Structure 1
Amino acid sequence: DEIDEAMLRLKKNYADYKEVDTIAEDTVSKIALIYLDKDGKEADT
C-alpha cells in the first residue's frame, strides 16, 4: 500500500502535460502567468 502511494506520487510529478485552452473540472493543471510591460514585451518578475 505504501509502495502504491509512492508510485502514484511519482507518476503525478512526472505527468505528461498537454497544452490546452480550457481547464476542466477533475483535471490536474499547470498554469503559467506571464507579465507584459506597456510595450507588450515579457516583463522580468
Structure 2
Amino acid sequence: MKCPGCGQWFDMRDLGQMLAHVHDGDIEIGEGLEPPARKGPVQ
C-alpha cells in the first residue's frame, strides 16, 4: 500500500512497517473480532 501521508510503499501485513506510517493521531489500531464503534461520521 502507498502511504497517503508520505507517499512511501509499505506492506500492510507487516505490523512494524504499518506502525511506522501512522502519521495521523486520530488513527486507532486494535485487535479483535469487530472494529471499535466510531464516535462520529467518517470523513
Larger radius of gyration: 1
| Higher relative contact order, structure no. (Cα contacts within 8 Å, ≥ 6 residues apart) | 2
TM-score (norm 1): 0.29
